[in-house]
Amino acid sequence: MTQDDIVKAARAWLGTPYRHRAATLGAGCDCLGLLRGVWRTLYGAEPAAIPPYRAHWRDHDEPAALRRAAERYLIAESEPPGAGQVVLFRLAGLSEPRHCGILVSETRFIHAQEHLGVVEANLTAGWVKRVSGRYRFPDSADLATHPGRPRT
């Protein structure tokens, strides 16, 4: 799997309407649904069932759920920002991330946004200051050595 494979998989979702908790290409997804769909394209089945979550980003029941999931199923990225990386964002000054997307370059990303659906957008200074973490999709060696990640 290459960065180009990841970007191609993410771009296939462009124009998909925004639908909370959905992950169906062309029919609807939210930001997590976009990542789930790209994961399925890359690996087949999703790594785990997704527990219910609220649409409202002010939901404080599980403030670190998105970060914990990223840490379990993805690999923390230490390389400079680049195509294919998953990026997590804090919203409204909250300390934990509530939004995610996939970088298509150092300055652009794809994400699912309410009222717009899946779009490719500029990674503006406003978005950059909200970045909470960057991750990469696991490669075959990662999948073989990390018990929290599914086997392919």
Q: Which two tokens stand for residue 16?
A: 């998909």
* Domain that residue 42 falls in: 3-145
127 vs 94, higher pLDDT: 127
In a domain, 100, yes or no: yes
pLDDT of residue 152 exceeding 50, the answer is: no
In a domain, 18, yes or no: yes
pLDDT digits (tens, 9 = 90+) for 44-98: 988 888 877 777 655 556 778 899 999 999 999 999 999 999 999 998 777 889 8
To the nearest whole number, what is the mean pLDDT of the chain? 89
CA-closest candidate to residue 7, choices 113, 109, 91: 109
Model confidence, pTM: 0.90
In a domain, 152, yes or no: no
In a domain, 64, yes or no: yes
Q: What is the CATH number of the domain that holds 56?
A: 3.90.1720.10
Could you give the CA distance from residue 54 to residue 35 in angstroms, rounded to a whole number? 17
In a domain, 151, yes or no: no
Q: Which two tokens stand for residue 69?
A: 């999931």
- What's the total number of domains in the chain? 1
